[in-house]
Amino acid sequence: MEWFETWGLTIIVFLPLVGALILGVIPKDNEDALKTTGLVATLLAFLASLVLIAQFDYSGGVYNTYQFEVEESWIGAINANYHVGVDGISLPLLVLSTFVVVLAVIYSWNHWDEPKNPKAFLILMLILATGMNGTFVALDLVLFFIFFEVVLLPMYFMIGIWGDKSPRKVPGFSKLFETRLYAAIKFFLFTLFGSAFMLLGFLALYFESGNFGERTFDIVELTRLGSGGAFTGTFAFLVFGAMFLGFAVKVPMWPFHTWLPDAHTAAPTVGSVLLAAILLKLGSYGFIRISLPILPQEAVNWAPAIAILAVIGIIYGSLACLAQTDMKRLIAFSSVGHMGFVMLGIATMTDVGINAAIIGMVAHGLITGLLFFLAGSMSHRYHTREMSRLGGNIKLMPVMGGILAFTAMASLGLPGLAGFWGEFMALVSAYNPLEGLSLGVFRTSMVLGAVGTVLTAGYMLWMLQRVNLGEPPNEWEGHTFHDVDRYEAAAWVPLIVLIVAIGFFPKVIFTSTTDTVTSLVDMAFDPEVTAALGSLMKGG
């Protein structure tokens, strides 16, 4: 398996793209061939990531060292390289990405939103997969940016073409918009707005790095410089701010979140699942991989602000959930709250907090992904997402209702299921943030975050009451509904198993992350380490 060392990541990233190219030449009406190709491509990428898990060396990860690393010259003129690699932080997220895409393809097998067209949809899904996988392994800012942006277009088309056609009133405009159009544009513009600034930050780093040797986009190199204290002052402030905009929109953090409920509500089921499960993590991953290690001192300056926005997101998102009438929109808003916990963890700048963020990201991916699958399947059957028209679902479809109850419990952070650890550990870390950070801000955040868990329980139980319990409304009398079919079961059971497994044995994730994260925090904030790195620096 020597070759896997060098080719493994490239295979995982580009296999889906190859699949997309093959799909391009398969006739549109040969649906079976299309689906099989899509499944094979994503499944192979997933299997390759399993090989990655098996071959990964988990012993004492030192931050800023990567495995399965490849570095090839790419755009010589700007010293941009094809540099990829994984470490303990990106490994679980990469596997999450390859895994959820497979489930999405399986689910799609007989669930095509109008206007169907499996060929185009599968191609978009595969391009999306390449973008997502690539973002998690990119070690060069240009490469990272490209993968980060590649994700945008397929999702834009998914929402804009396969999305919800119903008209929607937009405040400030007199005419009605199609939900999908408004949502797709909003998603696209918002993200692009953020990433324009992010790119600006990347470029600034590139030019500034010239003071310490050759200009570079290399994340490893920049991390080394940053830990040594290369980037400081107003420069660091502006660069961090620029990158913050890019990542914060993607997470999304309050108040940059409003594209999310619209995008989710409008998106086709699989689009929502991928959006919630993976796309949101690109933002928080960016904070951990780029902002924090490269600009550690500046991150400390920003940390209280991030924590405050995160907590506003937790409370605000949960309260907004309590006002929703649309089931999918409710789930979408719940993401704002859950990602708030992730960001709170990161803002503490501690190993506990960053580990909390990573397991929170994985758990949110699994749980909210499953919730969107369920919401999609239910609206597929009821042809409505309005909770006031639903009720007694568990009577009409016992299995689906049961899974919905389970997932809602997981989402409200029930201990023993995956969602608990991210929330609990984020609170632990907020109690004891990095030395020097304001205890007042963070401990207040801890208390408010804990209150947020109560609100979360509130809206989840409320949703269950309205959707699952009681007698079904008269509207559905005489209807028979097909309970969970086998494609749905095949896509959902693995998620359920993982939610329970991670809940009872979070080591599944922490085995990979903990050493790397500890070393990341040491490298960024331990005075001895940073001083040593600083003295190694050329020039400055």
Partner 1 sequence: MVGMRALVIAAEEGGHGAVEAGTGGFWADTAGIMLVLPFVAFLLILAFGKRLKYKGGELAVGALAINLLWATVLFVLNMTGGVLDQTTFEIARIGSDLVFELGWVVDGLSIMMYFLVNFVGLLVFIYALGYMEGDVRVDWFFAAFSLFAGAMLVLVGAPNLIQMIIGWEGVGLASYFLIGFYWEDLDNVRAGNKAFMTNKVADVGLILGTILVGVAIGSFDFSELSIAAAEHAEALGAVAVAGGLLLFFGAMGKSAQFPLHIWLPDAMAGPTPVSALMHAATMVTAGIYLMARVFPLFQNLAQDTRGLMVVIGAITLFAIGLLALVADDIKKVLAYSTVSQLGYMMTAVAAGGYTAGLFHLFTHAFFKALLFLGAGAVIHAVHSNNMSDMGGLRKEMPTTYWTFVVGSLALAGIIPLAGFWSKDEILATLGHEGYTAVMWIAIAGAFVTAFYMARAVALTFHGTYKGEGHPHEAPRVMTAPLVGLAIPSIFVGILNIPGVDWPGIGNFTEWLGVRVVPMGDYHPEGIDWSLAAIGLVAAGAGLALGWLIFSRDRATQKARDRFEVPALYPLLRQKYFIDHAALGVVGATTGPIARFIDWTNTYIIDGIINLVGGVVKALGEFVYGTIDQRAVDGVFNGLSAVTDGAGSAVRRLQTGRVQQYAAGFVAGALILVVVFVLIV
Interacting positions 13-72 with partner 1 (CB under 8 A) = none
In the bound complex, what is the minimum distance in angstroms from residue 507's beta carbon to partner 1? 5
Strand (E) or helix (H) holding 281: helix 280-286
Q: What is Dmax (Cα atoms) for the chain?
A: 79
Query: Which residue lies nearer to partner 1 by CB, 450 or 537?
Result: 450
Interacting positions 109-148 with partner 1 (CB under 8 A) = 120
Cα separations in angstroms, 284 against 111, 196, 347: 30, 17, 11
Work out whether 507 is an interface residue with partner 1 (CB under 8 A): yes
| Contact by Cβ (8 Å): 93, 284 | no
Strand partners, 70: 84
Work out whether 241 is an interface residue with partner 1 (CB under 8 A): no
In the bound complex, what is the minimum distance in angstroms from residue 56's beta carbon to partner 1? 18
Work out whether 388 is an interface residue with partner 1 (CB under 8 A): no
Work out whether 189 is an interface residue with partner 1 (CB under 8 A): yes
In the bound complex, what is the minimum distance in angstroms from residue 293's beta carbon to partner 1? 17
Q: Which of 195, 299, 319, 200 lies closest to 254, judged by CA?
A: 319
Residue corresponding to tokens 């159009």: 181
End-to-end CA distance of the chain: 43
In the bound complex, what is the minimum distance in angstroms from residue 276's beta carbon to partner 1? 18
Give the pair of three-digit tokens for residue 253: 């953090």
Work out whether 319 is an interface residue with partner 1 (CB under 8 A): yes
Strand (E) or helix (H) holding 177: strand 176-178
Work out whether 505 is an interface residue with partner 1 (CB under 8 A): yes
Interacting positions 141-180 with partner 1 (CB under 8 A) = 156-157, 160-161, 170-173, 178
The Cβ of residue 116 has, within 10 Å, a number of other Cβ atoms equal to: 11
Per CB under 8 A, the list member of 47, 428, 489, 529 interacting with partner 1 is 428
Per CB under 8 A, the list member of 18, 40, 469, 490 interacting with partner 1 is 469
Query: Which residue lies nearer to partner 1 by CB, 192 or 537?
Result: 192
- Using DSSP, how many helices (H) and how many strands (E) does the chain show? 23, 4
The Cβ of residue 258 has, within 10 Å, a number of other Cβ atoms equal to: 13
**86: which DSSP letter?**
E
Per CB under 8 A, the list member of 454, 493, 497, 536 interacting with partner 1 is 454
Interacting positions 320-339 with partner 1 (CB under 8 A) = 320-324
Work out whether 529 is an interface residue with partner 1 (CB under 8 A): no
Per CB under 8 A, the list member of 32, 471, 475, 526 interacting with partner 1 is 471
Per CB under 8 A, the list member of 51, 150, 204, 439 interacting with partner 1 is 204
Using the contact rule CB under 8 A, the part of the chain among 95-103, 244-252, 379-387, 389-397 near partner 1 is: 389-397
The Cβ of residue 388 has, within 10 Å, a number of other Cβ atoms equal to: 10
Q: Which of 371, 313, 363 lies closest to 508, judged by CA?
A: 363
Per CB under 8 A, the list member of 470, 494, 534, 540 interacting with partner 1 is 470
Alpha carbons 246 and 253: distance in angstroms, whole number: 11
Query: Which residue lies nearer to partner 1 by CB, 15 or 343?
Result: 343
